[in-house]
Structure 1
Amino acid sequence: MSLLSFSDAEGQAKRKQTRRERFLLEMDKLLPWSELERPIARYYSKSLRGRKPFPLSSMLRIHCMQLFYNLSDPAMEDTLYEVESMRRFAG
């Protein structure tokens, strides 16, 4: 995933792991991400012009979280801003 900041590392050491964090860690281990990405990759935008698209792996993880938690696109966007464990899962 990504590197933790000093405040993230300190915050994780001082608090209990939530049910959401445990669930997302379990999903990260259970789901075969590379196998799920393979059939989608040929259709995913290469975007030769304009803004670069987000990585396929991140978008697939975000889509899965939308399914897990029954979130709309705007709700998922807000949740990614607010919930650090979901940002970490998305990469």
Structure 2
Amino acid sequence: LLEKHELATGILGVINGYLGDRGLSLRQGTIVDATLIHAPSSTKNKDGKRDPEMHQTKKGNQYYFGAKAHIGADDESGLVHSVVVTAANVADVTQVAKLL
């Protein structure tokens, strides 16, 4: 939506102006994203129980059972520098500090 209405450049300009007024600048960054790792809901471990590290989550109108990979990548090179795997129901924002 930001790109469609060409707002991203303006927003970045405002942020850089705000930082510049305080003697700060943005020089590098990390792209943070997450992806679901789907597992069949009937998956059970050797004891005949579901894996306790996997949980159910809803994305859109569909439910998924499994885990989630939270990924941090360098914004210039695109190289992945950190990965945290959690249960699927863990909110993405709770893992950001570990990915920067």
For the superposition of Structure 1 and Structure 2, which TM-score range results when normalised by the shorter chain? under 0.3
TM-score by length of 1: 0.26
TM-score by length of 2: 0.25
Larger RCO of the pair (alpha carbons < 8 Å, separation 6+): 1
* Greater helix content: 1
* Greater strand content: 2
- Structure of greater Rg: 2
